[in-house]
Chains A and B, each alone.
Chain A
């Protein structure tokens, strides 16, 4: 479901790339990860086998910045395409808001495409979802290969519901962003039209933070505006109404609409013209970027999960054990006070 955080003014959606094995779902995410500015995306996490086949899921968070006072965030997931990973594939669909079905255009892959599409419907039904209610975009991938079916043939077999389709070559990036833009648009349109029956305002704490920014340990992060009583006023119904000026403290006072994700590479901040959105002051990100914000692992095309060691910034024990000081042996021996 679309998650709306009224306190920190965030909208979070889950988009799943579904499709048969080796159709290019992970490649889609890798391309997005490689092309999106580092301060608009997080780390690409791949839970893959030794042979680089997806075992559980790939995960890429995207942050497109503040719109009408709400920071829009999208969590992109892929599923393992291989038939025998259905148990894990089904788990990824939980709470899905939009689906990109990545079909392999090659002639000999049609059966796998159909099987995967049927499997998608079955798995959605198991969660009580209906494929009719969820925005779906079909991406006909691998159009650059020679032995592919025509779009009409693919539509005839796979697109009986008239979903929007795109031709793509994920390895070189053709059609990848078009697909993603459309599914995001459909998800937001759907969320708007369904009102709030599936929306979930939650607390401020889901905001992003940079690893290593330990300076904020002792203070309330002003980005978490819902936690700052002076910035939030309780309405009659009890919900916190946050004034635009109080939204996302450091963001609101800075020049870029983008807030970097944890794990994104530090570099010169990209200064973009602030969008002309009512109620949003001009912003700049320079003030927030410090060399200490450098993460241990720099973003690469396909980053693995890093085993985060015990950081020296981790705080000491909350409760110190103070033991009474023992008197010295000779002092006790000779009764010296």
Chain B
């Protein structure tokens, strides 16, 4: 539907993960998620195993989308940083390039200032990586959904979707 294509190669993901890990160590945060604005999780680092990252990605993307709409209504292009403060855990969200959101979850062992500082720096570096990704010529992505994938999926659906 949207015509933009984003192809992320393994080497870029390795670089992104390294950046996120460095940010987590520097800011002493718990975990970081990189979420696509459509609600898909791109990558994650840190202690995310107790989190439902699928739902979290969808909700965070929703929160960011609604905030962007609020920004538009008050005459701003968008709010680039979003912060949720809780009793123990807090969430810092910042925009990365055109289409991704960097989410950092942290607690009182660090401060919002530290997280903001590191997240800003990391966002800029991530944005550079995404620029490189987008500037790469589109390669021959012919694998994926091919052949009898849809037919096999249909058979599987019959099995799962039983009244």
Give the interface of A toward B (CB within 8 A): 1-4, 6-7, 11-12, 14, 32, 35-37, 40, 42-43, 45, 47, 56-57, 59, 61-62, 64-65, 67-68, 70, 72, 75, 87-88, 91-92, 94-97, 127-129, 133-134, 173, 177, 180-181, 184-185, 188-189, 191-192, 195-206, 208-209, 211-214, 216-217, 226, 232, 234, 237-240, 257, 261-263, 272, 275, 277, 305, 308-311, 313-315, 317-319
Contact = CB atoms under 8 A, between A and B. Distances in A.
Interface of B: 1-3, 5-11, 13, 16-17, 24-25, 28, 30, 36-44, 47-55, 57-59, 62, 65-66, 69, 88-89, 107, 109, 139-150, 152-163
Contact of B50 (A57, A195, A214, A240): A214
B162 to A, nearest CB: 7
A53 B69 CA distance: 21
Contact of B47 (A62, A212, A263, A315): A315
Q: Which 9 A-B pairs have the closest CB atoms?
A: A95-B38, A196-B141, A203-B13, A177-B161, A205-B43, A188-B150, A262-B52, A240-B10, A206-B41
A185 B84 CA distance: 39
A42 B13 contact: no
A43 B55 contact: yes
A92 B152 CA distance: 29
B157 A192 contact: no
A67 B38 CA distance: 24
Nearest to A62: B160
B156 A67 contact: yes
A124 B33 CA distance: 28
B1 A208 contact: no
Most buried by A among B39, B54, B155: B54
Contacts of A216: 49
Given A12-B40, A192-B150, A200-B5, 16 more contacts: A3-B36, A35-B163, A43-B52, A61-B55, A64-B153, A127-B1, A128-B3, A177-B157, A198-B2, A202-B43, A205-B13, A209-B53, A211-B51, A212-B49, A237-B140, A310-B107
B145 A11 contact: yes
A182 B3 CA distance: 24
A314 B51 CA distance: 10
